[in-house]
Structure 1
Amino acid sequence: MIPFGEKVAGYDIPVLNEREIRAAAGILFLATYTSLMFILFDGNFIPVKFVLTFFLLDLLIRVLISPRYAPMLIAGRLIVRKQHPEYVGAPQKRFAWSIGIVLSSVMFYLFIVVNVYGPVTGVICLVCLLFLFFEAAFGICLGCVFYPWFFKKKIQYCPGEVCEKQHYQHVSGRQVLVLALFVAAILPAVYILKQHYSKPPHAMFRHAQ
């Protein structure tokens, strides 16, 4: 039996390196997003079928065999190998990846076995992209949020120590106001600048006529 996670001194439970997990999520997000662009702009479903197959296989290896042999996690480790590890609890990650297996299995059945697409596949793709983006960009494991709903054990060693910390970084009212004003200014800015921005660019070094 291959243990799930690594035993590291100072940690009570098996852990995983959050940095390599985020790197792997970033790779998968880029691959999934690019394949969806092929569908949106070219109607080409071939890339997403390949990405979905590799995505599901990678998750199956993580959960059923060991994360240390999952190709995307190995790639992630190679990318961040010079960074200091940030260890997080392995149990909640295994649960989150199990959710990913369920979602990607449904997608595999619909896209590849039945060869159909529709609102269901669209929603699942968006959910997967959301999960991957939050993991890669913010270090937030959305799948881990549901872990306490099914297990009574307390979650340990969350990214950023959000499980243990009681005092969070303060965001002032002024900062929230600035963000709100920035978001509110986007729509009128688009309307005002649309005509100018819609002009096609010309080559920087075009030949003189």
Structure 2
Amino acid sequence: MNTSSRFGETVPGYSIRVLNEREIRAAAGILFLATFTSLMLIIFKNNFVPVKYVITTFFVDFLIRVFVSPRFAPMLIIGRLIVNRQTPEYVGARQKKFAWTVGLALSATMFVFLVLVNSYSPITGLTCLVCLIFLFFESAFGICLACKFYSLVFKTKVQYCPGEVCEVRARQEIQRTSGWQWLVILAFVGFLYLLGAYANSFFGKKPYDLFGAYTTAQPK
């Protein structure tokens, strides 16, 4: 039987099919950077061309992940090449497929409205924002937000989550946050508030060219 199209990988010691979370996070980081950069080009340059390429790539990649196989998804392959020297961290494939189906729906919405119809609206803006939040949490924190809804939809317990957060267990001492640490956070927030209140005029000054390289390069 051809097993290349089965979703996830069979790894000894795991009762269900799994995926490598490290390459998933790497792929999410690449997509986040591309999406965020293209969004900045829209905001500051009113340039919608890069985001159309990003959305098309996003849509095709998730289409392959869900309907073909994660092992043939270009972004996941690139992610694998980047982190192939790191020890794999296995996560359940079922909840990832559900999360990627959500991602496919979001990318399909943007593809239809922004690429095919060539229009922008609050629909595309909110969809893009949700995608950015999902990608950021996945790449920065290893938290799959869409996976949180898997057990609610299918009424089954999620297995093999990143960082073993599915398992109920006591926090280790290094993971505990003391009252003094919470006080540091509150003091830091107060510091940022005072910084914005009293240093804004100082920070608002345009930096000058220290070595005069750009000044001399400009045509007279």
Report the TM range for the smaller structure's normalisation. Answer: over 0.9
Separation (CA, whole Å) in 2 of partners of 1:123 and 1:185: 32
Which residue number in structure 1 is paired with residue 95 of structure 2? Answer: 92
Separation (CA, whole Å) in 1 of partners of 2:147 and 2:36: 22
Which residue number in structure 1 is paired with residue 86 of structure 2? Answer: 83
Q: What is the deviation of 1:185?
A: 2.5
Separation (CA, whole Å) in 2 of partners of 1:6 and 1:165: 25
Which residue number in structure 2 is paired with residue 102 of structure 1? Answer: 105
Which residue number in structure 2 is paired with residue 71 of structure 1? Answer: 74
Separation (CA, whole Å) in 2 of partners of 1:134 and 1:183: 22
Which range moved further: 114-123 or 25-34?
A: 114-123
Cα RMSD (Å): 1.6
Which residue number in structure 2 is paired with residue 17 of structure 1? Answer: 20
Separation (CA, whole Å) in 2 of partners of 1:157 and 1:125: 29
Q: What is the deviation of 1:186?
A: 1.4
Structure 1 SS opposite 2:13: coil
Separation (CA, whole Å) in 1 of partners of 2:170 and 2:56: 42
Q: What is the deviation of 1:202?
A: 2.0
Q: Percent identity?
A: 59
Structure 1 SS opposite 2:19: strand
Paired amino acid for 1:54: T
Separation (CA, whole Å) in 2 of partners of 1:184 and 1:159: 33
What are the ranges of 5 or more consecutive residues in structure 2 without an aligned counterpart? Answer: none
TM-superposition CA deviations, 1:144-167 (whole Å, max 9, x none): 000011112210000000001421
Does residue 199 (structure 1) correspond to residue 205 (structure 2)? The answer is yes
Q: What is the deviation of 1:116?
A: 1.3
TM-superposition CA deviations, 1:138-195 (whole Å, max 9, x none): 0000010000111122100000000014213211122122112212321221121112
Q: What is the deviation of 1:43?
A: 0.7
Paired amino acid for 1:90: A
How many equivalent residue pairs?
209
Which range moved further: 185-194 or 93-102?
A: 185-194
Separation (CA, whole Å) in 1 of partners of 2:168 and 2:188: 30
Give TM-score scaled by structure 2 length.
Answer: 0.91
Which residue number in structure 1 is paired with residue 140 of structure 2? Answer: 137
Structure 2 SS opposite 1:88: strand
What are the ranges of 5 or more consecutive residues in structure 1 without an aligned counterpart? Answer: none
Q: What is the deviation of 1:113?
A: 1.8
Separation (CA, whole Å) in 2 of partners of 1:64 and 1:130: 24
Separation (CA, whole Å) in 1 of partners of 2:147 and 2:102: 10
Which residue number in structure 1 is paired with residue 188 of structure 2? Answer: 182
